[in-house]
Amino acid sequence: MNDALKLGFGPLKAPAKGVLIVFCDDALKFGPATRKALGSAADLVARAPQVDAGFLHGDFPPDRQRAFAEQVVATLGMEEGSWRIDPTAHPFCTSFSNRDVRLTTRYREHDLESVWSTLHEAGHGLYAHGIADSLQRTPLANAPSLGLNESQSRTWENLVGRSLPFWKHWYGPLQETFPEQLGGVPLADATVQVSPRANTNCQWARLKGRASSLSATLK
């Protein structure tokens, strides 16, 4: 993470501008946190266009965010009745067994960060949910690999949750949840497709004001 900060992925001084979706068809190539990869990514970010993401800021009632989050998580593959989501100040996931998975998320009134923080925690939840019954009540049932566990959360938050296919499916329900805020913003205006291979610019590190998706994944 220190290398990432030196290369400019740290806290952004200017208000972060971002987009609802970044779909990068080369995303999976940036696996290992090598300096070479960071350098390439830094270059992409430096050339990234500024995108007006004002539609992501406004009044988003937490109760409706919560309804949307539960709607999404219910489709991710966890057994009905084996999980729940509750609000918290700092999102986390814990589990008491593979069928007692407890997600928490944070709903802020003026943005939709909860969508991605929920997906992140749901990734942790899926990891816990997938631990074999035969391992329950053993040390191996308690997140045997923190790295793999975190990789699942990043996968759902970033590779899935910022992908075009995901939003082709979920943008309609999101608009229905927030018709005043998003009803007039069509999917095409809410998304930008980027591809390093096509020499277009990549917006990864500007998606979130606090931690960039790219640096967070590589740290």
CB 122, CB 103: distance < 8 Å: yes
Least distance in angstroms from the C-beta of 3 to Zn ion? 20
Q: Choose among 102, 131, 140, 129: nearest CA to 118.
A: 102
Count of residues engaged in binding Zn ion, rule: CB under 5 A: 1
Closest CB to Zn ion among 153 and 181?
Answer: 153
Least distance in angstroms from the C-beta of 153 to Zn ion? 4
Residues 136-175 that bind Zn ion (CB under 5 A): 153
Site membership for Zn ion, residue 105 (CB under 5 A): no
Q: What angle do CA 162, 158, 59 make, to 5 degrees?
A: 60
Catalytic residue among 70, 113, 121, 150: 121
Helix residue spans in the chain (DSSP H): 2-4, 35-46, 62-73, 113-129, 146-154, 164-177, 179-182, 187-190, 213-218
Least distance in angstroms from the C-beta of 150 to Zn ion? 5
- In whole angstroms, give the CA distance from residue 3 to residue 34: 10
Query: Which single residue brings its beta carbon nearest to Zn ion?
Result: 153
Least distance in angstroms from the C-beta of 36 to Zn ion? 26
Closest CB to Zn ion among 118 and 153?
Answer: 153
Catalytic, 121? Answer: yes
Closest CB to Zn ion among 151 and 175?
Answer: 151
Closest CB to Zn ion among 65 and 153?
Answer: 153
**Sign of the C-alpha dihedral computed for residues 24, 27, 30 and 32 taken in this order:** positive
CB 155, CB 130: distance < 8 Å: no
Cβ neighbours of residue 3 under 8 Å, at least 6 residues apart?
Answer: 33, 35, 38
Segment holding 44, helix H or strand E: helix 35-46
Footprint of Zn ion (CB under 5 A): 153
Residues marked active site are found at 121
